[in-house]
Chains A and B, each alone.
Chain A
Amino acid sequence: MPAIAPASGASQLGQAENRDTLALRNTRLTPGDTIVVRVRRYDGADARYQSFKVPYRKYMRILDALNWIAENEATDLAFRWICGSKMCGSCALRMNGREVLACWEAVEPVMTIEPLRNLPVIRDLVVDRAPFEDKVAALEPWLERNAAYGGFPEPLSHKQMKNASKALDCIGCMCCYSACPVIGLGDLTNFAGPAPLVQLGQTALDPRNSPDKVRRSLALTGIFNCVSCYKCEEACPAAIPIVTQVIEPLKAKAAELVPAMAGHARSLRDIVQSRGFVDPGALVLRVKGLSALANLPRILRLLIRGKINPLKTFLFVRTAASAPARRLLNKKAAAP
């Protein structure tokens, strides 16, 4: 088994992972090797970790290891799976801290298996899908036509469906929902979460859908709470570009169809464009209005820490970056 050298400094961050190719993941173990699987057990009251030694077999997936355990060591291990081949999206869990589909991911020599985050656990690795399903249902992710359907096949091109088509690869596995830090904040925001947005994107990014329908759905998403951290894209086993081809286009649609939702994003954009930098003072004033001035202790704290500079804000100080910023932002806006 070739050793992976630990990263020795910031400049080497990510390189160990980069060397961990799919070919390597599939060949670092050979039949006859033993892998160690540490599984989080939970019976509704107590949680504990239980370790198993599992014989490796060719191309073994995590699901194969779990099935081996259920057949030979712990017949009462609860884990959900249906299709075993990346179509149903029911076997998602966390392996060594990252969200994966058990049926799709190669086993690792030593692995800790835990249920998805951000969802209630029913038993062992089985989570309650209901909170996710309820969010999807609330968005009413379906098509409403403005014009009557003209018969099969109707005029439609892949160019028009490019983003929706990516969203249609979604298998509802909730990996991204578990990985999303904003969903991890619980009720602090009304963010629908990446997976429900992808489910919505399947029809909201479809040119056949009525803008009025899309507007009603988008208004419920809290989409501007997305912090574009790309954790969802990183976790997606279906390789959907969730931020770039689903959430960003949906944000653009929301800004157009429900302008009130995009107040913060628009203000930020305007400030960067006109001033060449992010002026937090100006941003707070634009978003919160003058009522922001009422919270004096907070203003003082921000002043002391150097977070705001009223002089710059009220004198509308600009930097040389404003011209290129304007050029870049307008270029982006003009792109198809």
Chain B
Amino acid sequence: MQILSTDVAIIGGGAAGCYAALDLRKRGIEPLIICKGLVGKSGASLFAGNLVISGRALGNSEENARNTAEFLIKYHNQFLIDQEWARRCGAWIEQVYYPELEELGLYFRRDDDGNVVTSPGAIRSIAANVQGNSGVPFMDLRRKQILRAGIPKLEETVATALLRNADGAVGGVFCLDYMTGEYIAVQARAVVLATGYSDRLHQRSTGTREMSADGVAMAWRAGATLVNMEMQWWHTNDIADPPCWQRMQVYPNPMLGSNKSARMVNSLGEEFFNQQQDDPLAFGPYTVQLKALAKQVRAGKARYDGGYYAGFDHCDAAEVDSYTTYGKAYRQLGLRFPQQLVETAVTSHYRQGGVDVDTTSMRSSVPGLYVAGGVGGHSNGLIGLATYDGKVVSDGIAQDFDGFSSGPLPANELDAERRRLERLRNSSGTRISPIKLKEMLRGIMWDKVGVEKDAAGLQSAIEDIERIRLDLLPDMAIANRTPTANFEWLDAIDVVNMVDACDLIARSSLQRKESRGPFFRRDFPATDNINWLVANVVSKSGNSLRFEQRPYALPIFRPGFDTKNNLEVGW
């Protein structure tokens, strides 16, 4: 086993993790990145389609600025957000984020005359190089910054456990380099979780291959408090087939340089959503779309897993192709573009909830454990917000740095974790392969913890998950015990985390007795601002869970009603 030592171990190589590492390094605090995939190439940040212009940046009017803030708080978080954090974040994005990125060389798309191309309308956005693909050059820039700064990184290395010192503080991370099979223990004075919010826990999910709720599960096992785990965003118009394109979206957001965006039609060819006409303020109108789709599904004109279509048949090809990548999927499927539409389906996307944090420092409830980006429960993320978290966590750690303990790695915990992983690699049960078990869990989540939920379904999901935990996890079978590039072994490690996360999501869903934004309860169809404009907080209490409610302050925007049928609420 390799033992490494650093000031701060950062788990995750996306927008939040990279920025935290770079900012800590600037302060003279030594970071080390542990990335399950490849830094800048794995996780959700890569999928940033375009970048929202906040505040007064780039000629934004006062009206634009206000719309953007309202969008973030209302459409993006359904008021389950610290509005003061949102205000600070918006100001930082306006004043620091864009100039810093451009100074580093990020190419904000211009036209031939040198104007930055924007989408017109109530909320404006820009793109890095090309709309639909902004995350690629953005994260590639971060990857190269990490390289240039010489920040050490462990890639294709999975963090399997947070290690706790004798005083209970998190002081290290247990890792497995799954390409070589080598165990690595990282000793650190603090740990930043930056594992994102897009886990593959449903049959259809935008989460990338490696995302299996490791962050949430590790934090939970280390004793962290979680919040709003039931608040799950859905993409309404991701491509139905082929399966591996399930995370490829027909973006409903306004197009750069045009006043049009994708439209959606039901199985009869009737249009049921067009952002520009239906809700110009819903810049990322995912939830508004989902509600429109729910009505189609109930009318028998679409299904959540297909039977409706999206595309650009109301646009010229040149209009779409000038600044976007949107035509590429259609053409690759041999469809005529833009005349033909593609069949789309619902996909689970961001989880809005996550680890409960103090938004001024990104401290979790466990000493030594910090959080940045989507794995936090403080906001639904955008790449700008996740980056801001990277800055705030660096502030928080710098502030707390002198108080950190730095004991030796606890030998008993190291040994226990090594033995747990060895047991998984030697799984010799008779029942099921880890990859099948993953699919089984995703099927349960899709059927019973999917778009539309109710108490009976959630109870049944909790029972199914418990059966998996007790009967199937101990009886997994692995075909090959090689330590080298053993993805089967990795699946076995993942699925343990998925079981914990799925259980927490199902139980948290059962707890929230209302419908809000993308969270639909058949048995509680109303949005209830009297009782449920609160954080749904869950923590460990002995061997059981304890749920608490914590109200949100509403200093800037308010919902303006007490209760209302969620499908009739405009956000």
Which partner residue on chain A sits nearest B109 by CB separation? A158
Q: How far does the alpha carbon of A124 sit from the alpha carbon of B99 in the complex, in Å?
A: 45
B433 in contact with A151 (CB, 8 Å): no
CB distance from B331 to the nearest CB of A (A): 6
Q: Which residue of B lies closest to A86 (CB)?
A: B328
The reply to whether B57 and A64 contact each other, CB–CB distance below 8 Å, is: no
Q: At the interface with chain B, which of A18-26, A32-40, A270-278?
A: A18-26
- Collect the chain A residues with CB atoms within 8 Å of residue B42's CB: 82-83, 88
Q: Given that A67-B243, A82-B210, A155-B114 are contacting pairs, would A161 and B102 also be in contact in the complex, using a CB cutoff of 8 Å?
A: no
Q: Complex: how many Å from CA A88 to CA B104? A: 21
Interface segment among B60-68, B134-142, B416-424: the answer is B134-142
Question: Distance (Å) between the CB of B99 and the closest chain A CB?
Answer: 4
Report yes or no: B478 in contact with A75, Cβ–Cβ below 8 A.
Answer: yes
Interchain CA distance A78-B114 in the complex, whole Å: 47
The residue that B334 contacts in the complex, of A22, A126, A208, with Cβ under 8 A, is A22
A314 an interface residue at 8 Å Cβ cutoff? no
Is B105 close to A, CB under 8 A? yes
Partner of A82, one of B37, B147, B335: B37
A168 at the interface (CB under 8 A from B): yes
Contact with B47, one of A60, A87, A137, A202 (Cβ below 8 angstroms):
A87
A152–B41 touching, CB < 8 Å: no
* B195 → A minimal CB distance (Å): 14
Q: Check if B466 is an interface residue, CB within 8 A of chain A.
A: no
Q: How far is the CB of B535 from chain A (nearest CB, A)?
A: 32
What string of 1s and 0s marks CB contacts (under 8 Å) between B123-150 and chain A? Answer: 0000001100101110010001101100
Q: Is A59 a contact partner of B242 (Cβ separation < 8 A)?
A: yes
Q: Mark B94-116, 1 if CB is under 8 A from A, else 0.
A: 00001100111101111111101
Docked-complex contact B105 and A152, CB < 8 angstroms: no
- Supposing A21-B334, A140-B148, A155-B114 touch, asked if A71 and B136 sit within 8 A by C-beta, the answer is no
- Among B42, B46, B436, B478: residue with most chain A CB under 10 A: B46
> Are B248 and A58 interface neighbours, CB within 8 A?
no
Q: Which residues of A contact B242 (CB under 8 A)?
A: 57-61, 64
Neighbouring A residues of B209 by C-beta, 8 Å = 81-84
Which B residues are CB-close (under 8 A) to A157? 110-114
Q: Which A residue sits closest to B438, measured CB to CB?
A: A71
Could you tell me the distance between the alpha carbons of A156 and B478 in the complex, rounded to whole angstroms?
A: 55
CB of B1 closer than 8 Å to a CB of A: no
Residue tally, chain A, CB below 8 Å to B: 69
Q: Bound state CA distance, A78 and B210, in angstroms?
A: 14
Interface 1/0 per residue, B466-494 and A, CB below 8 Å: 00000000000011101011111000000
A126 touches B135 (CB 8 A): no
Say whether A206 contacts B46, CB under 8 Å. no
Interface size class of B (residues with CB under 8 A): 35 or more
Contact B241 A203 (CB under 8 A): no
Asked if A142 is an interface residue, CB under 8 A from chain B, the answer is: yes
User: Which residue on chain A has the smallest CB distance to residue B156?
Assistant: A80
* Chain A residues whose CB sits within 8 angstroms of the CB of B135 once the complex forms: 87
Q: What per-residue 1/0 map shows which CB atoms of A43-61 lie under 8 Å from chain B?
A: 1100000000000011111
- Chain A positions 112 through 148: 1 when the CB is less than 8 Å from some CB of chain B, otherwise 0: 0000000000111010010000000100111101000
Hey, which chain A residues are within 8 Å of B105, CB to CB? 142-143, 203, 206, 208-209
Chain A residue with Cβ nearest B59: A153
A230 contacts which chain B residues (CB < 8 A)?
none
Min CB–CB distance B436 → chain A (angstroms): 6
Give the CA-CA distance A128 to B110 in the complex, in Å. 37
> Would B243 and A23 count as touching, CB distance under 8 A?
no
Verify if B208 is at the interface (C-beta below 8 Å from A). yes
Instruction: Choose from B129, B208, B244, B332 the contact partner of A88 (Cβ within 8 Å).
Output: B208
B246 within 8 A of A: yes
CB distance from B385 to the nearest CB of A (A): 19
Q: Are B46 and A83 touching (Cβ within 8 A)?
A: yes
Known: A84-B209, A87-B46. A64 touches B41 (CB 8 A): no
Closest to A85 in B: B248
CA distance A217 to B514 in the complex (A): 59
Is there a chain B Cβ closer than 8 Å to A265's Cβ?
no
Q: Please encode chain A, from 83 to 116, with 1 for each CB lying within 8 Å of some chain B CB and 0 for all others.
A: 1111111100000000000011000000000000
- Using A57-B243, A59-B241, A87-B133 as known contacts, say yes or no to A75 and B334 having CB atoms under 8 A apart: no
Q: Which residue of chain B lies nearest to A84 when distances are taken between CB atoms in the complex?
A: B244
Chain A residues with CB under 8 Å of B332's CB are 22, 104
Q: A58-B242, A60-B242 are in contact. Are A122 and B484 (CB under 8 A)?
A: yes
Docked-complex contact A206 and B107, CB < 8 angstroms: yes
Q: Contact between A82 and B38 (Cβ–Cβ < 8 Å)?
A: yes
Question: How far, in angstroms, from A85 to B57 measured CA to CA in the complex?
Answer: 32
Q: Does B91 contact A (CB under 8 A)?
A: no
CB distance from A46 to the nearest CB of B (A): 13
Q: Are A143 and B104 in contact (CB under 8 A)?
A: yes
Q: Are A161 and B334 in contact (CB under 8 A)?
A: no
Residues A22 and B333 in contact in the complex (CB < 8 Å), given A76-B479, A153-B116: yes
Whole-angstrom distance from the CB of A145 to the nearest CB of chain B? 8
* Chain A residues, Cβ within 8 Å of B74: none
Q: Give complex CA distance A152, B56 in Å.
A: 12
Does any Cβ of A come within 8 Å of B398's Cβ?
Answer: no
Check if B148 sits within 8 Å of A142, measured CB to CB: yes
CB-CB under 8 A for A85 and B485, given A22-B331, A59-B333, A143-B105: no
Answer whether residue B557 sits at the interface, using C-beta atoms and an 8 A cutoff.
no
Asked whether, in the complex, the Cβ of B480 is within 8 Å of the Cβ of A63, the reply is no
CB A269 to nearest CB in B, in angstroms, measures: 31
**B545 CB-CB contact with A under 8 Å:** no
Q: Are A159 and B488 in contact (CB under 8 A)?
A: no
B131 to chain A, nearest CB (A): 13
Within 8 A of A (CB), among B79-101: 98-99
User: What is the minimal beta-carbon distance from A4 to any residue of chain B, in angstroms?
Assistant: 16
| Interchain residue pairs A-B with the least CB separation, the first 8 | A23-B334, A76-B480, A143-B105, A157-B114, A26-B334, A84-B244, A123-B485, A149-B103
4 more A-B residue pairs beyond the given contacts A149-B102, A169-B136, with a C-beta to C-beta distance below 8 A: A43-B482, A75-B488, A82-B210, A165-B129
21 chain-A/chain-B pairs, Cβ below 8 angstroms: A22-B332, A23-B334, A43-B482, A61-B244, A61-B245, A76-B478, A76-B482, A81-B209, A82-B209, A83-B41, A83-B42, A84-B244, A122-B484, A123-B482, A123-B485, A129-B38, A140-B148, A152-B58, A157-B110, A161-B107, A165-B129
